[in-house]
């Protein structure tokens, strides 16, 4: 039975408050089992749908978009990154795309700082020692990690999250270096050292944090050559996208001692991550939980709905329209 409201498919099981609003505003097709769609099943499920509310990792490449029914007019992704959506293919079909910027900055910056500290202070090893009943008491040389206070932090990608991480790092009196597509105004730079060439920044990075989007130019940017430019014993942190890191190169550097440690919240091909990470004691690994707070996930969902409601209910341009490059 039709409700007279535009039909919207939710590709994933979203937070309860988000789904309640989605169901109130639209004829919603929810996914309480959180089953994963492939391209063919997604095209079939969207028959008579005007919109799709998707999430990072959903298969919305050119082939899938080409197979979507003509009724689909909008894709709203529950994420800042939109590399899983072929925006150019959507534009050719007349489908608009929106994302959810601005609302997950603090939560992700918190996780980046957690990854930095967790890697530096060998917290994975400490937790394992306790949980496997191998701790025999304090010793003078036990689990000696890397000091954080006063060290140099290089940030690749000084957008909102990079700036928020820099603010947190300043509380540890870290010296901030950064590389970005353009230099920040002085009031946002706050004394950080700008490097127009990101490779030139690497020798100044006791810690390197990846906060850049996944693009063709950043794909496997952290490779063996660039790791070789970091100071020996540096620590790499990635809370952006897994594909920015060459896993083979990073794992080799962690095994050899070229790098002291790594703190990672994202992985190439996740959830099937490179098996080489599992046996590395000097890694602090998290399951892509940068935005995982109740407040942030609700805010992401509400922003996605703001976009869907603007376009499908009021015929307005979505406030967070993604433009095809």
Q: What is the pLDDT of residue 325?
A: 74
Q: How would you label 211-246 residue by residue, b for 16+ Cβ within 10 Å and e otherwise?
A: bbebeeebeebbeeebbeebbeebbbbbbbbbbbbb
CATH of region 105-285, choose from 1.20.810.10, 3.40.50.970, 3.40.50.2300, 3.40.50.720: 3.40.50.720
Q: What is the pLDDT of residue 3?
A: 67
CA distance readout (Å), 129 to 100, 137, 257: 40, 10, 21
**Is the fold of 7-102+294-322 the same as that of 105-285?**
yes
* Residue tagged active-site, from 13, 168, 189, 270: 270
* Residue tagged active-site, from 152, 241, 258, 297: 241
pLDDT of 2-57, one tens digit each?
568 999 999 999 999 999 999 999 999 999 999 999 999 999 999 999 999 999 98
Give the sheet arrangement for strand 234-238, strand by strand. Answer: 193-194, 175-179, 152-156, 207-210, 234-238, 259-264, 283-285
Is residue 288 annotated as part of the catalytic site, yes or no? yes
Distance CA(250)–CA(227), nearest Å, equals 8
Retrieve residue 195's tokens: 């490097």
Cβ atoms 162, 209 nearer than 8 A: yes
E strand spans, the chain:
7-10, 27-29, 51-55, 74-78, 96-98, 152-156, 175-179, 193-194, 207-210, 234-238, 259-264, 283-285, 321-322
**How open is the CA angle 276-260-131, to the nearest 5 degrees?**
65
pLDDT of 243-265, one tens digit each?
999 999 999 999 999 999 999 99
Q: What is the DSSP string of 98-147?
A: E---SSSHHHHHHHHHHHHHHHHTTHHHHHHHHHTT------TTTT----
Residue 323: count of CB within 10 angstroms of its CB: 8
Is residue 225 annotated as part of the catalytic site, yes or no? no
Distance CA(180)–CA(33), nearest Å, equals 40
Question: Which residues of the chain register pLDDT less than 50?
Answer: 1
Sketch the domain layout of the chain as residue ranges: 7-102+294-322, 105-285
Q: What is the pLDDT of residue 206?
A: 98
User: Domain 7-102+294-322 sits in which CATH superfamily?
Assistant: NAD(P)-binding Rossmann-like Domain (3.40.50.720)
Retrieve residue 56's tokens: 């990072």
Q: What is the pLDDT of residue 324?
A: 84
Q: What is the pLDDT of residue 2?
A: 56
Distance CA(155)–CA(291), nearest Å, equals 19
Q: What is the pLDDT of residue 57?
A: 87
Is residue 219 annotated as part of the catalytic site, yes or no? no
Closest by alpha carbon to 176, among 191, 186, 164, 187?
191
Q: What is the pLDDT of residue 66?
A: 96
Distance CA(304)–CA(310), nearest Å, equals 10
* Residue tagged active-site, from 21, 258, 288, 297: 288
């Amino acid at each position: 039975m039709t409700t007279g409201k535009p039909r919207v498919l939710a590709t994933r099981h979203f937070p309860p408050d988000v789904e309640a609003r989605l169901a109130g505003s639209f004829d919603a097709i929810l996914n309480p089992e959180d089953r994963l769609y492939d391209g063919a099943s997604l095209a079939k499920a969207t028959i008579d749908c005007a919109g799709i509310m998707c999430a990072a990792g959903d298969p919305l490449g050119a082939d899938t978009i080409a197979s979507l029914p003509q009724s689909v007019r909008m894709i709203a992704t529950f994420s800042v990154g939109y590399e899983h959506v072929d925006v150019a293919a959507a534009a050719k079909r007349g489908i608009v795309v929106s994302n959810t910027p601005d609302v997950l900055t603090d939560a992700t910056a918190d996780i980046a700082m957690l990854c930095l500290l967790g890697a530096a202070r060998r917290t994975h090893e400490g937790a394992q020692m306790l949980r496997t009943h191998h701790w025999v008491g304090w010793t003078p040389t036990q689990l000696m990690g890397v000091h954080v206070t006063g060290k140099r932090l290089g940030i690749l990608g000084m957008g909102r999250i990079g700036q928020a991480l820099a603010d947190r790092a300043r509380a540890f009196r870290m010296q901030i270096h950064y590389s970005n597509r353009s230099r920040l105004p002085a009031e946002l730079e706050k004394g950080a050292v700008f490097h127009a060439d990101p490779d030139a920044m690497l020798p100044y990075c006791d810690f390197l944090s990846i906060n850049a989007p996944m693009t063709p130019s950043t794909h496997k940017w952290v490779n063996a050559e660039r790791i070789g430019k970091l100071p020996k014993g540096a620590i790499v942190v990635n809370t952006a996208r897994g594909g920015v890191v060459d896993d083979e190169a990073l794992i080799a550097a962690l095994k050899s001692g070229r790098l002291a440690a790594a703190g990672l919240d994202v992985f190439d091909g996740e959830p099937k991550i490179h098996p080489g990470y599992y046996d590395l004691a000097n890694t602090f690994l998290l399951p892509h939980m940068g935005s995982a707070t109740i407040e942030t996930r609700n805010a992401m969902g509400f922003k996605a709905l703001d976009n869907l409601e603007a376009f499908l209910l009021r015929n307005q341009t979505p406030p967070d329209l993604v433009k095809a490059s």
